[in-house]
Amino acid sequence: MHRAGIIVALIGILSLDITNGRSVNRFGIFNIGPKNEENALDIQISFGVDVIRAHGKLGLSLPAAVGEWTHCNDDQTCVQWGDFATVELKDGSAPGCGRVEWTTTYAREIEDCYDIEEGVHWYGGGETHTQTWPIESNAQGEGAHITGGGDSIQKYDHYYLGVVENYWLLSNGAALYVDPDTPLFFSLNTTRPNRVCFIARDETPFTKREPLTLKYEWCTAENVKAAHQLAISTFFEKPTGIPDEVMLVQPLWSTWAEYKTDVNQTIVLDFARRVVSEGFGNSSHIQIDDDWETCYGSEEFSPTKFPDPKTMVDAIKAMNMRVTLWVHPFINYECPLFTEAMSNGYLVKDAKGKTGITDWWQGSNTGIIDMTNPDAVTWWTDRLRNLQESTGIDSFKFDAGETFLLPASSVLTGESDMWPQLYTTKYVETCATFGGLAETRVAHLNQKDVFFVRMSDKDSRWGNNNGLKAMIPALLQMGIVGYPYILPDMIGGNAYGDEMPSKEMYVRWMQLNIFMPAVQFSLVPWKYDSETVQICLDVLAQREMYREEILAAARQAVEDGSPINRPIWWVDPTDENTFTIGDAYMLGDNILVAPVVEEGAVSRDIYLPTGTWRSAVDSAVHVGPQWLRNYPAPLNVTPFFIKTA
């Protein structure tokens, strides 16, 4: 408890005002005012006595029939509506933070909303199909705040993709964190216009709650960076190490976008040889993607497609590259291994205690391995390690893991109030045991684990709707919720359907990736022309030139949880011009990358925050803060700047 510290240092930051007068009671960092909108209470979040950070309304879902509220303690930090519901303000987890705690025995829903105010910008939450930075322009329908998925069966305005945290950050120096055992639903500027709403609801996909609670904390500080550093150190663990250093600098090559499921031993070896012969021999590894198994879930190479996998792996390693393999947590019904897994209780069960049947993009009748069951995890990981030992595979690309892929009414092992998100957490914890090359496409409360978390599959298009322009916002978004080791999606996207990246799109995609934490190829540059190949080689050479800066930023993440790639406001968190820049990013504190992300553009406006900046393009020196208007960026140029003072 930090009661004394908050009252002395942060008097008025969290307090209630629940009479028709002004300023009746101040406590922590809240100020709650007279009720309106039925039984809702006004609340304001402030820093110090008079600096307001946010306004909102508590209890918007309370029915009028519950009647008037009364105080429930002498401090007047607690309000109750008879025995129907109680809301109390408490000390937070650290100085500068304060808690809102709702409890209700009868209500099945509690809703608190905060205003989207002019000039105040929101970050955080989760990775979305349409990704913007900041997030308030990306209206989001009310839905369960769980790891969702990028498949067409999802309603993209309601569901997140693979990385979700209960954490939001405001540009004016406030941060909000919802307790992880909350059955949380979220909406943004939809069901309640111009508001961000947090709803605890006794409804699937969450378990039934008795009583229902909504508990969260606000933290405030002098600016957005300070608020983030306070919150991230309070609510999340830091990574315990850095992943594979070679992969942090050198590219990997996946078979997926180039070949989809049309892979075999000959194709993989030809692919690897061509990577080397085209000048990309200084690469991390080859990744063999979908459809190498005898059946989905067997974790055995198809003898027809891969007659001698060890010889193949050895040949690739002789080219000075490692090899990773695509795996997943599913076992399709037609796969013989399904019976063994089912009979031993290794698959997720439903509420009736029966093996739950689900579907995914490669099967409509499938079981999913229960990553919350230690025996199932041991059985599955032993199979994967045996595969490594027999073939020489270095590690794995772990796919899926989102909670929406679980069977209906799933029953997991462990604390039920953490379901269904517990599945994602335990899945990633298991995947991370396979070393620094391991990658997943999901994460929830996995900040401490050492792995690469990759962006969900991107489409080969330009826009923020899961295309090229979504890449930098996704990078910043995932970093700000505590994941520094991000694997950007493949250069040029996935070429789904009729979408095929133009040469221009491919080159711009390569350039924006220049100082991200990793580079992933699949569609090959030599299918365009020699200029495209050379631009890609030039970008990789620049990346190699600054390898120590990349590795230093990766190590800093272990020390203090900082992202490798930071928002521009990280340089000067008081500069309002930086709060809405979603098409540029920092590597560490001193390299600013401003790639072209607009189709047909050969110049762009670039904002340089405070400091002295040297252009890596022409060595010109610029003193910020200032805008560089119409900065030249022809197809072979990646604008970036080095901070020298």
* Helix/strand/coil (H/E/C) assignment for every residue in 529-542: CHHHHHHHHHHHHH
Average pLDDT estimate for 331-350: 97
Least confident of 154-158, 207-211, 333-337, 608-612: 154-158
Q: In the 8-state DSSP scheme, what is residue 444?
A: S
Average pLDDT estimate for 458-477: 97
Span(s) in the chain for CATH 3.20.20.80: 245-329+373-560
pLDDT at 31 over 80: no
Q: What is the pLDDT of residue 30?
A: 55
Structure tokens at 578: 């930086």
pLDDT at 6 over 50: no
pLDDT tens sequence across 538-578 = 999 999 999 999 999 999 999 999 999 999 999 999 999 99
Query: 486: which strand partners?
Result: 453
Average pLDDT estimate for 97-111: 95
Domain topology for 245-329+373-560:
TIM Barrel (3.20.20)
Average pLDDT estimate for 329-358: 97
Q: How far apart are CA 16 and CA 14, in angstroms?
A: 7
Q: How far apart are CA 128 and CA 162, in angstroms?
A: 8
User: What Rg do the C-alpha atoms of the chain give, in angstroms?
Assistant: 25
**Residue (of 402, 564, 456) closest to 127 by Cα position:** 456
Q: How far apart are CA 117 and CA 53, in angstroms?
A: 10
Residue identified by tokens 């402030």 is 46
pLDDT at 2 over 50: no
Span(s) in the chain for CATH 2.60.40.1760: 3-235
Architecture of domain 566-643 in this structure: Sandwich (2.60)
DSSP structure string for 371-383: TT-HHHHHHHHHH
**CA angle, residues 590, 594, 598, in degrees to nearest 5:** 170
Structure tokens at 404: 């929406």
pLDDT at 442 over 80: yes
Q: Please, are residues 165 and 125 in contact by the beta-carbon 8 Å criterion?
A: yes
Q: How far apart are CA 141 and CA 190, in angstroms?
A: 6
CATH of domain 3-235: 2.60.40.1760
3-state secondary structure of 156: coil
pLDDT tens sequence across 354-379 = 999 999 999 999 999 999 999 999 99
pTM for the predicted model, two decimal places: 0.94
Q: What is the pLDDT of residue 8?
A: 21
Q: Please, are residues 62 and 40 in contact by the beta-carbon 8 Å criterion?
A: yes
pLDDT tens sequence across 119-178 = 999 999 999 999 999 999 999 989 999 998 434 344 444 468 999 999 999 999 999 999
Query: 47: which strand partners?
Result: 51
Q: In the 8-state DSSP scheme, what is residue 387?
A: H
Q: What is the pLDDT of residue 37?
A: 67
Q: Please, are residues 557 and 242 in contact by the beta-carbon 8 Å criterion?
A: yes
pLDDT at 27 over 80: no
3-state secondary structure of 241: coil
C-alpha of 360 from chain center: 21
Span(s) in the chain for CATH 2.60.40.1180: 566-643
pLDDT tens sequence across 398-439 = 999 999 999 989 999 999 999 999 999 999 999 999 999 999
Sign for the CA dihedral angle at 456, 462, 464, 468 comes to: positive
Q: Please, are residues 126 and 186 in contact by the beta-carbon 8 Å criterion?
A: no
Q: What are phi and psi of 333, to 5 degrees?
A: -55, -40
Residue identified by tokens 């990704």 is 131
Q: What is the pLDDT of residue 289?
A: 98
Percentage of the chain surpassing pLDDT 70?
92
**How many CA atoms, within 13 angstroms, populate the side-chain half-sphere of residue 603?**
6
CA dihedral 351, 355, 357, 360 (to 10 degrees): 110
Q: What is the pLDDT of residue 26?
A: 35
